[in-house]
């Protein structure tokens, strides 16, 4: 039925296949087909997924509550641990309340349609995550796309549009480019417009802090990084599945927003609750993050070491400001006159294969995930200096091989 489409994907070097690992979830190592690789593809930024205290917390919760939740939170699926985690997240993010969702994708495609209705206008960054794009599509609001991180363009578009409510939605850290949204500028724009209109929350600011939570602002996230207070017009989405090494997601906001989502967010209402052992793991991860600031400092140091080494080799890393570091072909010294013909999917795949042959795991990222193919490197606090130096050595070899 789909054979012709699959053939085209193969011919275009765009066919995706699943590559399951045989190892546990460690940030720095991965075993595939019996071979161990240094893993530079994980979002486990703080290396918490295998932390013994988190594993122990999950085991204890499973002994007490069993595994499956059995029902949605609005029926009988929730436990006291769910409420405890929500209180912890609200305090962590500086909001009145919080609500747990089963994944970051579920949170965005549930919360965005719930807060954006007919007559409203959503302004969405052009590089926002697919879950934001889908959440916007599911809403009945008008969708307006602004140029990536371009405040001037965003301001112009807002002035042109009239609606019941205007909502700006952006990732904080963009997952494929590694840059950070200009949150201070967007916050000021929202605050000024709300002040001018003299109508509280006529302009909402929805941020997806999936890659910022545990990474920016000494772990508190993007608002803390920019020293922005979580005003009532701000709605924060974040995940437990990346830097916190667990699973699931949350929305943190003022109480009336959370009460509205409990009643209107379909992905919350109609989904079986996360197992209590998963919730216990997230609780323990939050505790570790708050008492061990050395983790975020180690992440920062590793990121600086790797980024400097990559740029010294002459690679284009776009505007990366975070542990997510893209490297864009063609490779120096073949980059004369710009990206040129070598910057294609096939070259990127070959480059990923070169890394794999040298026991570095970093898959090629291709369209439609990104317009421009790349290797997306993700460095973590669990990587050693030796791991980073090995990667830099292999990258240096790749340059030499193409001379």
Burial of 354 (0-12, 13-18, 19+ CB in 10 A): middle
* Contact residues for 189 (Cβ-Cβ < 8 A; gap 6+): 151, 154, 155, 158, 168, 203
Expressed in angstroms, the distance from the first to the final Cα of the chain is 45
Evaluate if residue 180 carries a pLDDT over 80. Answer: yes
Enumerate the active-site residues: 175, 211, 242
- 367-395 mean pLDDT: 95
Distances in Å between the Cα of 337 and the Cα atoms of 181, 284, 319, 332 are 29, 51, 20, 11
Range in 62-71, 187-196, 312-321 with the lowest mean pLDDT: 187-196
pLDDT, position 191: 92
Domain at 12-41+293-401, CATH from 3.40.50.300, 3.90.650.10, 3.10.450.50, 3.90.1150.10: 3.90.1150.10
**For residue range 265-283, what is the model confidence (pLDDT) as tens digits?**
999 999 999 999 999 999 9
360 phi and psi angles, rounded to 5 deg: -115, 125
Q: What is the mean pLDDT of residues 50-69?
A: 96
Q: Tell me the pLDDT band of 333, cut-offs 50, 70 and 90.
A: very low
Q: Are 221 and 238 in contact (CB under 8 A)?
A: yes
Q: What is the pLDDT of residue 200?
A: 60
Q: In the 8-state DSSP scheme, what is residue 363?
A: P
pLDDT single digits (tens) 8-27: 999 888 888 888 877 776 66
In the predicted structure, residue 198 carries a pLDDT above the cut 70: no
* H/E run at residue 377: strand 374-378
Distance CA 203, CA 206 (A): 10
Strand order in the sheet with 374-378: 324-327, 374-378, 364-365
Q: Which CATH architecture has domain 52-291?
A: 3-Layer(aba) Sandwich (3.40)
Is the link from the previous residue into 333 a cis peptide, with omega within 30 of 0?
yes
Instruction: Tell me what the pLDDT averaged over the chain comes to.
Output: 92
Answer yes or no: is pLDDT of 340 > 60. no
Domain chopping of the chain, boundaries: 12-41+293-401, 52-291
Residue 168: count other Cβ atoms within 10 Å of its Cβ. Answer: 26
- Kindly report which listed range (119-128, 237-246, 300-309, 361-370) carries the lowest average pLDDT score: 361-370
C-beta of residue 114 within 8 angstroms of C-beta of residue 264: yes
Q: Which segments of 94-203 does DSSP mark as H helices, in order?
A: 104-115, 130-138, 151-160, 183-197
pLDDT in tens, 347-362: 888 889 999 999 999 9
């Amino acid at each position: 039925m789909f054979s012709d489409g699959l053939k085209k994907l193969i011919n275009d070097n765009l066919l995706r296949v699943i590559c399951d690992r045989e190892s546990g979830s460690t940030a720095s190592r991965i075993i595939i087909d019996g071979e161990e690789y240094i893993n530079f593809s994980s979002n486990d930024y703080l290396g918490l997924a295998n932390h013994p205290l988190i594993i122990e917390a999950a085991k204890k919760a499973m002994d007490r509550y069993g595994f499956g939740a059995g029902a949605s939170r609005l029926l009988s699926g929730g436990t006291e641990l769910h409420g405890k985690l929500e209180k912890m997240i609200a305090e962590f993010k500086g909001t009145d309340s919080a609500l747990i969702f089963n994944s970051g994708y579920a949170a965005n495609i549930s919360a965005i349609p719930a807060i954006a209705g007919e007559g409203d206008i959503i302004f969405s960054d052009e590089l926002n995550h697919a879950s934001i794009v889908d959440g916007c599509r599911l809403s009945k609001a008008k969708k307006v796309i602004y140029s990536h991180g371009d405040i001037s363009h965003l301001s112009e578009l807002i002035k042109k549009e009239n609606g019941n409510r205007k909502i700006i939605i952006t990732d904080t850290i963009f997952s494929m480019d590694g840059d950070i949204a200009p949150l201070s500028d967007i916050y000021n724009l929202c605050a000024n417009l709300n002040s001018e209109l003299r109508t509280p929350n006529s302009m909402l600011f929805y941020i997806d802090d999936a890659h910022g939570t545990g990474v920016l602002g000494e772990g508190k996230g993007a608002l803390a990084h920019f020293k922005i207070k979580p005003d009532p017009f701000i709605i924060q989405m974040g995940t437990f599945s990346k830097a916190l090494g667990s699973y699931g997601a949350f929305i943190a906001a003022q109480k009336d927003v959370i009460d509205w989502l409990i009643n209107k967010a379909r992905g919350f209402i109609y989904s079986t609750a996360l197992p209590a052992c998963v919730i216990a793991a997230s609780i323990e991860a939050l505790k570790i993050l708050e008492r061990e600031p050395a983790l975020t400092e180690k992440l920062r140091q590793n990121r600086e070491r790797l980024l400097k080494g990559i740029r010294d080799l002459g690679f284009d890393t776009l505007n990366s400001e975070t542990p997510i570091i893209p490297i864009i072909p063609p490779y120096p010294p073949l980059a004369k006159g710009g990206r040129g013909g070598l910057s294609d999917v096939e070259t990127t795949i070959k480059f990923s294969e070169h890394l794999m042959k040298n026991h570095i795991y970093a898959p090629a990222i291709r369209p439609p995930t990104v317009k421009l193919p790349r290797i997306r490197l993700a460095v973590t606090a669990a990587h050693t200096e030796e791991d980073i130096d090995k990667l830099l050595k292999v990258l240096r070899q790749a340059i030499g091989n193409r001379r």
